[in-house]
Amino acid sequence: MYDVIVIGAGPAGSEAAFRLAKLGYDTLIVEKEAGLREKACAGGVERVVLDEFGRPPNSVIEREISNLVVISRGLYRVNFSIDRSLLTVMRSKYDYWLQRRAVEQGATLRTHTKVKQVSLKGHPTITVNSGTKLRTRFLVDASGAYSIVRRSHGEYWSSNDIAVGVQYHINLLSHQIDDRIGDCCELYFDSTSAPGGYYWIFPKRDIVAVGVCGIASCLQRERINLREKLDAFIRKHPIASQKLSEGVIRFRQSAILPVRLCENLVYPNAVIVGDAGGFINPLFKGGIYEAHKSAEIASKYGNAFLETGESDRLLGYEAEIKARFHQVYESNRLILNMLNSDELFDRLIDSLIEKRAQY
């Protein structure tokens, strides 16, 4: 029996495994895919992640971003200097680095190991694709949007609580990316084709991550096909199409992004972290910082549980999470509702431009 089993080897799972293995617990990470796998994620890593959880090696960093451009449907645009406070990474390399870091602290990683069933009765038990049953004292569910623990308890997201994202990787020559985009990330808002979301262009070394997301309920109601909208954005958008011309699409992927914290994050012998718990910012749909942070907090209370065997020690995790994230998320949700009006968004950006011109 393991002290800890972590389901999922993304940023949340690897961070939790790293911390618990470092404390001396016999820790197993099970990952359904290979160690090196891409995800439909723009790959933006904020400075706060670097400050709190460490800077990845230079081989993992694709670009250091110095500017953020926001463009409205009416083509109003405003440029924000962010002073290299954002890095772009390929998620395959970034996640692999986090996995190796956990392994170096003593965790065991099993890839191509999909969890088919979970039981939390007594000591948690997982059944994997080989049919093997694995037992643990403490379970960390970092299995992503389709949380295996939540599903085992009949808990599912509603279409109002999830965003759907589609992303392509587009090959361009390095000098084309430098000339057309540079060290700049671009966000394009258009509520008619990406309700509750936006389009993005995030440059890497010789790849550009281009994607779109929107709230699932809105997409269903308006019968919007995001893949068709993204294709049209790449080919026809007055600004983006010029930046992406001659590019070759090499990778297509979609993702489900929960944008509301789930009600139950704690069970008598298990916790939920990262995307599995809805730790994704409702406004920008990013979740790398939230994944790391939820894992850090969960590890603290997990350690207290493992030391004492007292389930009540885990309750502090949910309380601290809600104190830290709930109000911020609800505020961002209100801002998102305001920005979902193209007319209001055009006026907002126009006023920002006018104010900047006065200084």
Q: Distance (Å, rounded) from C-alpha 88 to C-alpha 204?
A: 6
Q: Is-contact 291 6, C-beta < 8 A? A: no
User: Which residue, among 201, 204, 174, has the nearest Cα to 89 in the 3D structure?
Assistant: 204
3-state secondary structure 291-323: HHHHHHHHHHHHHHHHHHCCHHHHHHHHHHHHH
Domains identified in the chain and CATH numbers: 2-43+90-157+260-337 (3.50.50.60)
pTM summary value: 0.91
* Burial track 73-100 (b if 16+ CB lie within 10 A, e otherwise): beebebeeebeeebbbbbbbbbbbbbbe
What is the structure's pLDDT at 317? 95
Based on C-alpha coordinates, what's the Rg of the chain?
21
pLDDT values of the chain reduced to their tens digit, one per residue, 359 residues: 999 999 999 999 999 999 999 999 999 999 999 878 888 889 999 999 999 999 999 999 999 999 999 998 888 788 888 877 899 999 999 999 999 999 999 999 999 999 999 999 989 999 999 999 999 999 999 999 999 999 999 899 999 999 999 999 999 999 999 999 999 999 999 989 999 899 999 999 999 999 999 999 999 999 999 999 999 999 999 999 999 999 999 899 999 999 888 889 999 999 999 999 999 988 888 899 999 999 999 999 999 999 999 999 999 999 999 888 877 777 777 777 666 666 666 666 666 555 554 44
What is the structure's pLDDT at 350? 60
User: Which residue, among 226, 234, 213, 229, has the nearest Cα to 170 in the 3D structure?
Assistant: 234
What is the structure's pLDDT at 359? 45
What is the structure's pLDDT at 342? 64
What is the structure's pLDDT at 299? 98
Considering only the C-alpha atoms of the chain, give the largest distance between any 2 of them, rounded to a whole number of Å: 68
What is the structure's pLDDT at 351? 62
What is the structure's pLDDT at 352? 56
